[in-house]
Chain A
Amino acid sequence: MCGIVGLFLKDKALEPQLGAMLTDMLITMTDRGPDSAGIAIYSDAGKGLAKITVQSSDPGKDFKDLDGDLAAALGQPVTMLIKDTHAVMEVPLDQMEAARTALTHLRAGIKIMSSGETIEIFKEVGLPKDVAARFQVAKMGGTHGIGHTRMATESAVTTMGAHPFSTGSDQCLVHNGSLSNHNGVRRELRRQGMTFETENDTEVGAAFISHKLKTGETLGNALEATLTDLDGFFTFVVGTRNGFGVVRDPIACKPAVMAETDQYVAFGSEYRALVNLPGIETARVWEPEPATVYFWER
Chain B
Amino acid sequence: MQTFDLAAKGLRELNSSLHALKGTTNMTEWEVINPKGAHAIAAGVDAPVDITVRGSTGYYCAGMNKQATIRIKGSAGPGVAENMMSGTVIIDGDASQYAGATGRGGLLVIKGNASSRCGISMKGIDIVVHGSIGHMSCFMAQSGNMVVLGDAGDALGDSLYEARLFVRGSVKSLGADCIEKEMRPEHLALLADLLKRGEADHKAKPEEFKRYGSARKLYNFNIDNAEAY
Contacts and interface: CB of A to CB of B under 8 A. Distances in A.
Interface of A: 250-253, 255, 257, 270-275, 285-287, 290
B126 interface: no
A271 B116 contact: no
Contacts of A271: 37, 56, 58, 75, 77
15 contacts: A250-B135, A252-B134, A252-B135, A253-B97, A255-B77, A270-B59, A272-B58, A273-B37, A275-B36, A275-B37, A285-B56, A285-B75, A287-B96, A287-B115, A290-B134
> Nearest 3 A-B pairs (CB), nearest first?
A272-B37, A271-B37, A275-B36
Contacts of B78: 255
B36 A272 contact: yes
Contacts of A255: 77-78, 96-97
Interface in B126-141: 134-136
Contact of A270 (B37, B97, B135): B37
Contacts of A257: 96
Interface in B30-61: 36-38, 56, 58-59
Nearest to B98: A253
A290 B116 contact: yes
A251 B153 CA distance: 12
A250 B134 CA distance: 11
Given A271-B77, A285-B75, A252 B116 contact: yes
B77 A290 contact: no
B82 interface: no
Contacts of A250: 135
Contacts of A287: 94, 96, 115
A212 to B, nearest CB: 26
Given A271-B77, A273-B37, A287-B115, 7 more contacts: A250-B135, A255-B78, A255-B97, A272-B58, A285-B56, A287-B96, A290-B135
Q: Which range contains the number of B residues in contact with the other chain? A: 10 to 19
B97 to A, nearest CB: 7
Contacts of B94: 286-287
A265 to B, nearest CB: 18
B77 A270 contact: yes
Most chain B beta-carbon contacts within 10 A, residue among A251, A252, A270, A271: A271
A270 B115 contact: no
Contacts of A275: 36-37, 56
Interface in B166-214: none
A124 to B, nearest CB: 27
A253 B94 CA distance: 17
A177 to B, nearest CB: 14
A272 B38 CA distance: 7
A131 B38 CA distance: 24
A287 B117 CA distance: 14
Nearest to B34: A275
A270 B116 contact: no
A25 to B, nearest CB: 12
A285 B76 CA distance: 12
Nearest to A273: B37
A272 B78 CA distance: 12
A251 B78 CA distance: 15
Contacts of A274: 37
Contacts of A285: 56, 75
A95 B58 CA distance: 48
B43 to A, nearest CB: 16
A250 B136 CA distance: 11
B131 to A, nearest CB: 12
Interface in B78-104: 78, 94, 96-97
A292 to B, nearest CB: 12
Nearest to B7: A275
A250 B173 CA distance: 14
Nearest to B38: A272
B170 to A, nearest CB: 16
B46 to A, nearest CB: 26
A251 B36 CA distance: 27
A253 B56 CA distance: 20
A29 to B, nearest CB: 11
A272 B134 CA distance: 22
A250 B117 CA distance: 13
A251 B77 CA distance: 17
A151 to B, nearest CB: 15
A215 to B, nearest CB: 31
Contacts of A252: 97, 115-116, 134-135
A90 B59 CA distance: 44
Contacts of A290: 116, 134-135
B36 to A, nearest CB: 4
A287 B133 CA distance: 12
A272 B57 CA distance: 8
